Structure 1
Amino acid sequence: MTLTLTLLLRVSVAVAVLGVVIALIAFLCDTVRLRGRRVLRCPRCWYSMADAPSMTCPECGRTARTSRQLTRFRYRWRTTLLGLLIAATGVTGFVVVLRLTPASVSRLPSWLLVRMVDPNPPLPGPNRSGQGAMSPPMSQALADEMWHRYQLGRLSRAHRALSAQRQFATRPPISITARSTWPADLPLRVHPTGDFSGPLPRVCMIEPQFAGGEDITLYDSGWGTIGHSRNFVVPADGMVLGPMPADVDEIVCVVRLLEAGEQVYREVVTMKVAATPGTERPHTAP
């Protein structure tokens, strides 16, 4: 889920209200529960002193100096302070979000920035033209700042992995096209398509999950580099994925993305083997 500014404002207000409610309940619950009635209780452990023969508590041994000490209301100061801290956090978040501008997004922590960038449609980077309509200034500023940190290596591996997972949440980084049917036990040639690129060089590994399947490794130099090019090196007749059973229109693959030898994305993807337009449909082996 993308954390929009409106959502952050609502969350901040909810947190502030929750903190105030906690503080009020902790501070006033004893007063409201007793409704003004005076109940004799130990001021230390709050044991009932109604039947005690003296002002010494039979539970903890404390002796009250005056009878007035036995009728005090109980205020939960620690819980009250916790509620006030929660409320202050909500108010601070509300003010920060209200004052957030495209020029101040660089102050956002990375864990929040990654979650605020809209991952759909494919994200444009600082050196890459956007696709489709232009994004609003704030959305573009958030995306540019995240990719800028990405290129400079200021995002941790966990943040880069989260970015990749959100980038491919609704669309796998690779799709496969081939003829709609294929003779059984013959190597299936496929044409990987899609866009798994990011600001840094990436290696995409496709591992088919069927007997005899052959792994495919693809490379992308990264659109944050000079002279970016997608280095698929796919033969004209496709890449060999391995022999498949007859009448199969989808395959299960493990797709992994690596950056500088570190895995930033791994997902088990069921891919439809789409028919390549204009190809002959061979006879399916029995």
Structure 2
Amino acid sequence: MLYRKFAKLLGLTILAGSVIGAAQAESKVVVGGKKFTEQQIVAEMTAQLLRSAGYTVDKRPDLGSSVLRAAQENGQVDVYWEYTGTSLVIYNGVKEHLNPEQTYERVKTLDAEKGLTWLTPSKANNTYALAMQQDVAKKEGIVSISDLAKKVREKGEYKFASNAEFYSRPDGLRPLQDTYDFQFPRKDVIRMDGGLTYQALKDGQVEVALVLSTDGRIPAFKFIVLKDDKGFFPSYALTPVIRTQVLNSDPKLATLLNSLSAKLDDTTLPLLNSRVDVGRESIEVVARDFLKSNGLVQQ
């Protein structure tokens, strides 16, 4: 009789332990990120946000873009922040030119077939852009790429810093110039590593530079991003993407991730990136300050 009671008690203990273990396993979320500052910041913010909500987080930053995407499709990463244009062009091979809303809806539909759910996109669009020094642009009366194109057609005295990829790619410099009906003289196009275009513009070696629109050096160096008034550059809206299986098992993850997405825009992200890249602050501190100041975690 005593043995039976002990066996029953042991069985209940094991069962309870299994239930607790399963619950803990379900609350563990693997958060991924790519190898550059912006991705490291949003991955850290996501990790801190989920931990504050009681989740166990396994953070895996510093992954290559294709490696990270494959890891998510294979179930090794549960959530990371992706750019709509990257999924559209790189992962789904769509060539047609779509506006931001069409781009989001297309990747949302295509990736749903692969077991991935696109949540609410942020207002941060990390796309290629053309930048100038603020004082030079103001003096020349240049606000948009159309303004720049007109000046180049009239004067042709603007040196342009470009990375080699944008210079040669089929959706790069040549179609941009075709769209806006202008052309930089070949001698005025200076090809260099993408990271050097910012310094070249800052030092006055060129008047115009190719940049990524949410790079922290834009506000730090007092650049102005020219308005893409003809919508040439694809939309690269930063958006949380989660495995559908994980979301279905825990729908409140969408609420948490969307609450963070709602706070990110083209003004906020460059400033956060600048604190890390220019101010040399730690990613952990920058992420924590942002979450606290926006009421996403407790003070």
Q: What band does the TM-score fall into relative to the shorter chain?
A: under 0.3
Larger Cα-atom Rg? 1
Higher-helix-fraction structure: 2
- Greater RCO between the two (CA within 8 Å, min separation 6)? 2
User: TM-score normalised to the size of structure 2?
Assistant: 0.23
User: TM-score normalised to the size of structure 1?
Assistant: 0.24
